[in-house]
Amino acid sequence: MGFYIFTYVCLAVFLAGVIWRVYRQLTLPVHVRWELYPVWHEKAERSAYGGSYMEEADWWKSPYQTSSINEFKYMAPEILLLRGLWKENKRLWRVSFPFHLGLYLMLATFFLLLISAGLTLWAPSTFAEGGILRAGLDGLIAACGWIGIIAGLVGSLGLLYRRLTDADLKRYATPADYLNLVFILVFFLVAMMAAFSDPFFDGAKGYLAGLLTAGTFRPVYEPGQSLSGALTIMLASLLAAYIPLTHMSHMFMKYFLYHRVKWDDTPSRPGNAVEAAVLENLNLRPSWSAKHVDADGGKSWKDIASSAPKEKT
């Protein structure tokens, strides 16, 4: 039962970390608008050349329209293939892509295992051993799991090597960057050892089935069949708890960078939420050390912005 409690606690930490990150982002003051184009939720005819709805005469009289399809067409290769990194730094992409692919596939493997465990528990007749559905799902789990482990192992080793040998990367690498890579590398190493002894991930299916029923204190499977399997469960649980507490949370916080900052072109009309947020910002009282800003903590942004700049002394 201790394994299940440990995983439940780690999942609770993960959920709390995600909620805190999102809440913190949503309650920050409104960002300074970035006048950057193209904005990918523009209509196809304008996003193709980096245009904007503001090109239209009297644009403020027309309804504000966006295209979710254009967003998806841009975001899918950006998220799944790291297209931006491919364009800017192909050498780094060659190790970063397998690293991210490994994490993506391990996440997919987790959900597939969860589906398999649920079907085993609550639809045993339609998910009987030897059936087409069972064989197909087992094959998909094995393919995702093995490719994910190999890709993640290659990627984490490659990224760690690049961090240690590339002078440009070393300049801004922090101890946390190395710790994150070592942690994930150890996870993939242990997961590979577990996979060699359990190539179809039957132990993981059993453990997840136990997680789904442990609330009744009648777990139907033992948590691990081997030392490497037990260590994989512990490391995977810790990794889930660890990610939202570090900058690796960018995997889900990127939404806010793109949609609420980089691509936010919502028009500011009298009485709308943008105007209210800007007025709130103008009442903030900054206390920066930069003398030219004259932000002493007593003056608001409105006072500073509307006053004449100080003469140089």
Residues 226, 198 contacting (CB under 8 angstroms)? yes
Hey, where are the domains in the chain? 88-236
Is 272 buried (19+), middle (13-18) or exposed (0-12) by CB count in 10 A?
Answer: exposed
The total of other beta-carbon atoms located within 10 Å of residue 232's CB is: 27
**d(Cα 38, Cα 48) in Å, to the nearest integer?**
8
**Residue 73 near residue 41 (C-beta atoms within 8 A):** no
Q: What's the pLDDT score for residue 217?
A: 46
Those residues of the chain that have pLDDT short of 50 are 217
91-128 pLDDT per residue, tens: 999 999 999 999 999 999 999 999 999 998 899 888 88
CA 300/CA 284 separation, integer angstroms: 5
pTM (2 decimals)? 0.88
Please tell me the predicted confidence (pLDDT) of residue 311: 64
